[in-house]
Amino acid sequence: MKKILLALLLALAQANAFSAAPGEGRAAPDFTASRLDGQPGKPFALKDLRGKVVYLDFWASWCPPCRASFPVLDKMYSERKGQGLEVIGVNKDQEPAEAAKFLAEYPVSFPLLADRKDTLVTLFHVKAMPSAYIIDRKGTIRFAHLGFNRDTEAQIEAEVAQLLEEKP
Amino acid sequence: MRFIVKLVLAAGLAALSACTSVQPWERGYLAKPEMALDSDPAEAKLMQHLYSSKEAASGGYGVGGGGCGCN
Amino acid sequence: MLDALLKAAIALPICTLPAKAGQLETANGGIKYLNYAEGDGRIDVNSPLLWFQGPLAQNYDIALSATLDSVSGASPQYVSNQSGKPVHTLSGASIIENRRAADVKVTRYLGNMSLGATASVSSEHDYLSRGAGIDMRFDFNNKLTTLALGSGVTSDDVGSSIDRSLHEQRLSHDFLIGITQIINPLSLVQSNLSFSEGQGYYNDPYKFTLFFFPGSPAPVLHRDIRPDRRRQTAWLTRYRRFFPAWESALAVDYRYYADDWGVRAHTLDFSWSKNFGHGWKLRPGLRYYSQRQADFYGTVFSSSSGVGSSDERLGSFGALAPSLKVSKELSADTSLDVAVGYYRQEAKYKAGGGGSSDLAPFSARYLMLGLNRQF
């Protein structure tokens, strides 16, 4: 019985290795994507935002922490847009109607993208919902976040402020 | 009993390695309330109490629940 | 090692598991009202239940519920075979009994692990039950698999309003091990194995069997006497599958039950939950139950003092219970539901035949109303 428990703990310790934040320090892969249904604008290209700090967020309507994050992200976006912050939300709903329903409840002003073919999640090695990548003005992923709660909220604010200070 | 515990553990660990991976963003349907194992815990509690007052079987859902006289 | 594990497990609510796996984001509460009535008007039960669950602090959740059952009617106390066929005799006076029950559960989330502690109490004028339990859940394999371990203890005090001198006790311990596995983006399965071992007083102080030995003119009165020990095993497997094209979810639960009294039981529960849009949901369900009797079940005993019980619940029978539930989301945070169900127990419903011929068919119906609110 003891052996089994030990094996189990080892398995759990290994499982924990998954939660390491992916991508920090790497150059953000360039990508183009179409807008989420009903969203204005031409097809999106990440390289058009070079020189800005980009908060790239992967979200879905069914994910409760995403719900908690939206008002926070929208506030941060409207406050710091002038300083050079861009917030981009990549929707991962399987049913587009559910994303629309969610947005009616939690309206945001930042741009939203679709990722029907899982190109972006694969490119960014998304490991959890929500996942966020904070990209500096030079296009490097400086911070990555898995999940969202009150602690991450304060952390994100500080990290975004720090990156906005840096000159391109 | 010990054998059964081992069997369940073995089956579980086998399931770990054999199953196909479900990506984090593919769990929208699984997150629907009707897909929850206990989609209505209050209802489940009342129904289990009713059934256990009319039938001999009980158990399987949790531990440390209060019993009843049920006479 | 464990320390490193806990440190590595940063507390983040990452939603990669079905609802309720991680810490609650919002508080929920509601009321359920159950009315249950037996076919012949013998028993009528009204139970309101209040429940609440929500975040208590960072990484802590709390769940509470409280019920008040009010039972009116009379329980059969005597079983007699005088007429050749056993008949139940009601105790005569109509009774009104209340049962109060409450439970509380606190859960702590530690990254890929959670720890829960439960306490429960249930009290009737002649019965008091107290329970406590702890459980642990570990998420691993990228949160596709969850292992649950639990252990609990229940202590019961049994009294009797017809025998004021009766003060008996029962103590039971239970253990549970379970695995939940996400199979694919549309389905998941859970399998729980639970064991319970109890010691103490299991008799029903209100039950007597009046019987005639064949050829004997004088009746014999037999009290309900059961073994003072019971070991129970339940193996519950639950399957959920979503069908996007039909906006529907299928739920199938199967439980095998065995105890050392000789009871073997199968429970099979199906339900189909369909979303109709605009917040309407319909859930038809069908439950089938079948049990084999306890070794000491009977209506005629070889002596008046040996182990034996004529309690219908220990006989051989089957039961069918169709139900229908309708729910409606009134707004983003309020929903209402109504469920109706019918329950019929008959000896001939037993799987494979061989139901107790002395059991009278029994039926009941229930109505449940629920109001759920998110705060």
Model pLDDT, residue C58: 81
Nearest CA in chain C to A17: C8
A to C CB pairs, distance under 8 Å: 73
Top residue of B35, B38, B51, B58 to mutate, by most chain C CBs within 10 Å, is: B35
State which of A139-148, C155-164, C187-196 shows the largest mean pLDDT.
C187-196
Please report the residues numbered 201 through 240 in chain C whose beta carbons come closer than 8 angstroms to any beta carbon of chain B: 204-207, 232-236, 238, 240
Q: Kindly indicate the confidence band of residue B57, based on its pLDDT and cuts at 50, 70 and 90.
A: very high
Residues C23 and C61 sit within 8 Å (Cβ to Cβ): yes
Which chain B residues are within 8 Å of C195, Cβ to Cβ? Answer: 1
CA distance C79 to C75: 11
Domain boundaries, chain B: 26-52
Neighbours of chain A (3+ CB pairs under 8 A): B, C
Tens-digit pLDDT profile for residues C97-117: 899 999 999 999 988 899 999
Question: Domains in chain C, ordered, with CATH?
Answer: 28-374 (2.40.160)
CA distance C297 to C350: 16
Residues C26 and C372 sit within 8 Å (Cβ to Cβ): no
Tokens of C374: 């998110």
Which chain A residues are within 8 Å of C141, Cβ to Cβ? Answer: 15
* pLDDT at residue B13 greater than cutoff 60: no
CA distance C232 to C129: 18
Top residue of A9, A90, A92, A146 to mutate, by most chain B CBs within 10 Å, is: A92
Q: What is the DSSP letter of B21?
A: P
* pLDDT at residue B4 greater than cutoff 80: no
Q: Quote the percentage of chain C above a pLDDT of 90.
A: 65
* pLDDT at residue B39 greater than cutoff 60: yes
Cα of C323 to nearest chain A Cα, Å: 28
Question: Is residue C17 within 8 angstroms of chain B, CB to CB?
Answer: yes
Coil/strand/helix, residue B48: helix
∠ CA C185-C190-C191, nearest 5°, is 150
Question: Is residue A4 within 8 angstroms of chain B, CB to CB?
Answer: yes
Helix A64-80 and helix A150-165, axial crossing angle in degrees, nearest 10: 30
CA distance C107 to C103: 13
Cα of B18 to nearest chain A Cα, Å: 15
Only one residue has tokens 């729910």, namely C327
DSSP bridge partners of A81? none
Neighbours of chain C (3+ CB pairs under 8 A): A, B
| Burial (Cβ within 10 Å: 0-12, 13-18, ≥19) of residue A15 | buried
Amino acid of residue B23:
Q
CB-nearest to A147 from C1, C14, C332 is C14
Which chain B residues are within 8 Å of C99, Cβ to Cβ? Answer: 68-69
Tens-digit pLDDT profile for residues C183-212: 999 999 999 999 999 999 999 988 888 877
* pLDDT at residue A113 greater than cutoff 70: yes
Q: Which of A10-14, A105-109, B4-8, C82-86 has the lowest average pLDDT?
A: A10-14
Beta-carbon contacts of A42 under 8 Å, excluding residues fewer than 6 positions away, are none
CB-nearest to B25 from A4, A60, A98 is A60
CB-nearest to B24 from A11, A95, A127 is A127
Model pLDDT, residue C72: 87
Q: Kindly indicate the confidence band of residue A122, based on its pLDDT and cuts at 50, 70 and 90.
A: very high
Coil/strand/helix, residue B20: coil
Residues C104 and C88 sit within 8 Å (Cβ to Cβ): no
Only one residue has tokens 């009010």, namely C70
CA distance C159 to C174: 23
Q: Quote the percentage of chain C above a pLDDT of 70.
A: 87
Model pLDDT, residue A108: 95
Question: Domains in chain A, ordered, with CATH?
Answer: 23-165 (3.40.30.10)
Tokens of A140: 């490097």
Model pLDDT, residue A14: 47
Only one residue has tokens 């009315």, namely C35
Tokens of C295: 């070794």
Model pLDDT, residue C9: 33
Per-residue three-class SS string for chain C: CHHHHHHHCCCCCCCCCCCCCCCCCCCEEEEEEEEEEECCCCEEEEEEEEEEEEEEECCEEEEEEEEEEEEEECCEEEEECCCCCCEEEECCCCEEEEEEEEEEEEEEEECCEEEEEEEEEEEECCEEEEEEEEEEEEEECCCCEEEEEEEEEEEEEECCCCCCCCCEEEEEEEEEEEEEEEEECCEEEEEEEEEEEEEECCCCCCCEEEECCCCCCCCEEEECECCCEEEEEEEEEEEEEEEHHHCEEEEEEEEEEEECCCCEEEEEEEEEEEEEECCEEEEEEEEEEEEECCCCECCCCCCCCCCEECCHHHCCEEEEEEEEEEEEEEECCEEEEEEEEEEEEEHHHCCCCCCCCCCCCEEEEEEEEEEEEEC
The residue that leads in pLDDT, C214 or A165, is A165
Greatest Cα pair distance, chain C, in angstroms, is 77
Burial A25-39 (b: 16+ CB within 10 A, else e): eeebeebebeebeee
The residue that leads in pLDDT, B9 or B57, is B57
CA distance C67 to C32: 9
What are the phi and psi torsion angles at B60 (to 5°)?
105, -20
Interface contact flag, A128 B24, Cβ < 8 Å? yes
Question: Is residue A4 within 8 angstroms of chain C, CB to CB?
Answer: no
A to B CB pairs, distance under 8 Å: 37
Interface contact flag, C51 B41, Cβ < 8 Å? yes
The residue that leads in pLDDT, C366 or C95, is C366
Only one residue has tokens 């398995």, namely A11
Please report the residues numbered 31 through 60 in chain B whose beta carbons come closer than 8 angstroms to any beta carbon of chain C: 31-43, 45-46, 49-51, 53-60
Q: Kindly indicate the confidence band of residue C20, based on its pLDDT and cuts at 50, 70 and 90.
A: very low
CA distance A46 to A56: 10
Tokens of A79: 């406050």
What rounded mean pLDDT belongs to chain A?
A: 86
Tens-digit pLDDT profile for residues C283-324: 999 999 999 999 999 888 877 678 999 999 999 999 999 999
**Of C65, C70, C135, C145, which is closest to residue C107 (Cα–Cα)?**
C135
**Of C189, C12, C180, C206, which is closest to residue C90 (Cα–Cα)?**
C206
CA distance B29 to C249: 9
Model pLDDT, residue C89: 60
